Structure 1
Amino acid sequence: MFTRHILILGCFFSCSLGTVRSAVADEYDPLTTASDFTAETLKLDVIDSNRDRTIPILVYLPESRSSEPVVLFSHGLGGSREASPYLGKHWAARGYVAVFLQHPGSDSSVWEDKPIGSRMQAMEAAASGKNMIDRVRDVPAVLDQLQRWNDEASHPLHGRLELDVVGMSGHSFGALTTQSVSGQSAGRFGQRATDSRIKAAILMSPSKPRLGNAKTAFADVSIPWLLMTGTHDVGAIGGQTAESRRGVYPALPAGDKYELVLHNAEHSAFSDRGLPNDRLSRNPNHHVVILALSTAFWDAYLRNDNAAKTWLQGAPAKAILEPLDEWQAK
């Protein structure tokens, strides 16, 4: 297994993950894809007429023409639907329809036309309660539109979406969005934002609630959650620290809950590019681990793949980690 780990890390920049093969003949390998696969992509706009709001999306399509599970991804503050393509490409290669949302008001338009000196101020203003509510409402609006397109005979997505089995994911502000629609309670409003179509969730750089008790906020999370963070996962905006991000997992009820902590991973480790406040060198094995664990998680809980669940909960998952990475489940 150590040989396999070195093999993956050594070829990361010189070959696609589709060419990575295990040095040990495992029955299940979440990194294996067809070496010649290139995801077909669609750029579409979801029109939410009730809010007079347009939500751009980028869809990564698998090779299969049949109905496949859908996984959504919500970008961080100042991002776009173009964020983290390494995730969309790999998930599509594994047979998922990966739908990447763009949230107007907290997307790249916030800073793109601003002078460099005022971009941080603009970003801070965009991290508002109003934009959080808009993001949360974007999720069911997109799912509703995907259902209409799936039913529309002339649409490219016709018959290709399994919308009873949806995975939700996101990074940073997108993780907070994911928390809100997949089980987190919001004070007296309870789980009003939770969407029952979502069957599993991946949160990259999760957040404890600013107000109230984390135990109360997460007590009713009933679906599988996978948390991913790093020992230096500090956001420039929002006040979350590496320690506060790790406060989510202990507050979750037991049952199909997982936490990954990547050693020396900064906030940008989950994206394709660095951030201005990065201080550490990027570790290529971080993306290998993120892809492997996220794929096994989707396979286990969206496809009910017992081999994937066994892999996720056993020695193979730990074998891809570096010595100081942490992986736990309950």
Structure 2
Amino acid sequence: MIWLEAVLFGAAVLALALALLLRRARRSGRVRRARRGVRAVEWTAAAAALVLAAAGGLVVWALPPVDFPEPSGGYAVGTTTVQWTDRDRDETWTEDPDDRRTVVAQLWYPAEPGTGTAGAPYLGRTAAEARVVTDAIADGFGLPGSLLSDAARARTRAAAGAAPVRDGAPLPVVVFSPGLGGVRGQNTAWAQELASHGYVVAALDHPFDSAAVVLDDGTVVRGRLSVPEGSEEEDRLVSEWTSIRADDMRLALTRLQEMDADADGPFADRLDPGRVVAAGHSFGGSAALHAAAGDDRFAAVIDIDGFPHEADGLALPRPLLVLVAGRGTGDAVADARYADAVTAALAAADGPSCALTVEGAAHLSFTDAPLYLPPVPSIVGSDGRTRPLATTADATLAFLDAALRDPAADPRAALAPFGATECDS
């Protein structure tokens, strides 16, 4: 009886918390693109509160144990986390003149089978770090950390500290930036799938932006960003934050090149400096565009459902892929504005560029969220828990293989099987 009452209470709290999360997300704006579709979902969450309170068993439906899909490629997947400091760049978020900008990056890569420790923790190097991160994410929305406890305990399909594969040609690299307040592990399923097909993915934590970043010495850096909706300062802040992230991505590329050149390091001669992609989700997608526009070391760009701020003034490398959530925001004006900005970004690219609309996808469909959030279509799309992850990875791989591995291939043709595509040559 006590167990049942606890389940029922937790279910009601879950549904109420979801409604509060979505209402808060709508107020913040999330730089116009994140947490899309929240208006319709508030009604769904309110109704879910009644249903869940009457049927505690649906808690499992709402918050299932996190089970990452097995990567489909031919390589085992390894992962490691590194910390990089830019000695030439001040940390603008602190007043200490001696502080220098530091980022934390997690690498997923093709690995030698049987090396490393299988089942690396999700969202942190350790279970304790993962709990710090999930608590910070929950706290950012005014929710109890217990709602993300399964995510904090989850294990991935990668082996921690595995040896990078030694055979074959140097590996192409994808530098990834998460959404506003996002963390380096939010696209783990996508990163593992790419790594199993021969790519190295370096995903970044952006201190003072990401919900929580745990540095090597144990220091926890909490996120400080908030967007004043409707404020005249919004455009200035977005430009400033985008610039910081773009510089973080360039720093990551420089450090990766140094790792490749380090004859005594595990990645010596394993990374291909001529095949590097800037990628990001939501706000990170905009940062990827700006990082690549200011650095010709990036050979291509992937913007995953991010508003391409000021893209019409950029000179982008080719090619460019923009993945668009087919469900939209629920706001016709906002969706039209986004469509215009995407068209401008495609026109700014120097060569083949495409926007692929993924039907049924919501904004969070492109992250790991479908694995552990309630399967409400306006939150995580309408294709189930694993199909959105597969679609995102398959389309990305088709684009990358055509852009980086086959000079004769047309990235636009490679994307045709995945849905409605708008291209600009």
- TM-score, normalised to structure 2's length? 0.56
Where 1:78 maps in the other structure, the secondary structure is coil
Q: Which residue of 1 is the match for residue 396 of structure 2?
A: 294
Q: 2:338 aligns with which of 239, 245, 248?
A: 245
Q: Which residue of 1 is the match for residue 231 of structure 2?
A: none
The structural deviation recorded for 1:278 is 6.8
Q: 1:76, 1:139 → 2: CA distance?
A: 14
Larger displacement relative to structure 2 (131-140 or 84-93): 131-140
Assess, with a 3 A threshold, how the Cα gap between structure 1 residues 95 and 329 changes in structure 2: closer, same or farther. same
Q: 1:50, 1:303 → 2: CA distance?
A: 34
Q: 1:58 aligns with which of 94, 106, 125?
A: 106
Q: 1:233, 1:298 → 2: CA distance?
A: 25
Larger displacement relative to structure 2 (77-86 or 151-160): 151-160
Listed one character per residue, the Cα deviations across residues 25-61 of structure 1 (whole Å, up to 9, x for unaligned) are xxxxxxxx22xx4311110011111120211000111
Q: 1:235, 1:109 → 2: CA distance?
A: 30
Q: 2:377, 2:250 → 1: CA distance?
A: 34
Amino acid at match of 2:421: W
Q: Which residue of 1 is the match for residue 423 of structure 2?
A: 329
Q: Which residue of 2 is the match for residue 77 of structure 1?
A: 180
Where 2:212 maps in the other structure, the secondary structure is helix
The structural deviation recorded for 1:200 is 0.8
Q: Does 1:42 align with 2:80?
A: yes
Q: 1:168, 1:304 → 2: CA distance?
A: 19
Q: Which residue of 2 is the match for residue 165 of structure 1?
A: 275
Q: 2:415, 2:239 → 1: CA distance?
A: 37
Q: Which residue of 1 is the match for residue 369 of structure 2?
A: 273
Q: Which residue of 1 is the match for residue 295 of structure 2?
A: 195
Q: 1:81, 1:227 → 2: CA distance?
A: 20
Amino acid at match of 2:396: S
Assess, with a 3 A threshold, how the Cα gap between structure 1 residues 305 and 295 changes in structure 2: closer, same or farther. farther
* Identical-pair percentage: 24
Q: Which ranges in structure 1 are unaligned for 5 or more consecutive residues?
A: 1-12, 19-32, 184-193
1:230 touches 1:242 (CA, 8 Å); kept in 2?
Answer: no
Q: 2:210 aligns with which of 107, 115, 134?
A: 107
Assess, with a 3 A threshold, how the Cα gap between structure 1 residues 142 and 313 changes in structure 2: closer, same or farther. closer
Q: Which residue of 1 is the match for residue 200 of structure 2?
A: 97
Q: 2:316 aligns with which of 207, 210, 221?
A: 221
Q: 2:330, 2:85 → 1: CA distance?
A: 31
Q: Which residue of 2 is the match for residue 139 of structure 1?
A: 249
Q: Which residue of 2 is the match for residue 232 of structure 1?
A: 327
Instruction: Say which one has the larger Rg.
Output: 2
Amino acid at match of 2:201: A
The structural deviation recorded for 1:17 is 4.9
Q: Which residue of 1 is the match for residue 356 of structure 2?
A: 260
Q: Which ranges in structure 2 are unaligned for 5 or more consecutive residues?
A: 1-66, 90-99, 112-164, 214-219, 229-233
Assess, with a 3 A threshold, how the Cα gap between structure 1 residues 305 and 103 changes in structure 2: closer, same or farther. same
1:259 touches 1:329 (CA, 8 Å); kept in 2?
Answer: yes
2:109 touches 2:201 (CA, 8 Å); kept in 1?
Answer: yes
Listed one character per residue, the Cα deviations across residues 187-230 of structure 1 (whole Å, up to 9, x for unaligned) are xxxxxxx11110111101132436xxx6x425x33411001111
RMSD value, Cα? 3.2
Could you say which structure has the higher helix fraction?
2
Q: Which residue of 1 is the match for residue 121 of structure 2?
A: none
2:363 touches 2:380 (CA, 8 Å); kept in 1?
Answer: no
Amino acid at match of 1:62: P
Where 1:209 maps in the other structure, the secondary structure is coil
Assess, with a 3 A threshold, how the Cα gap between structure 1 residues 14 and 71 changes in structure 2: closer, same or farther. closer
1:235 touches 1:267 (CA, 8 Å); kept in 2?
Answer: no
The structural deviation recorded for 1:241 is 3.1
- TM-score, normalised to structure 1's length? 0.71
Listed one character per residue, the Cα deviations across residues 59-80 of structure 1 (whole Å, up to 9, x for unaligned) are 1111432521111111111111
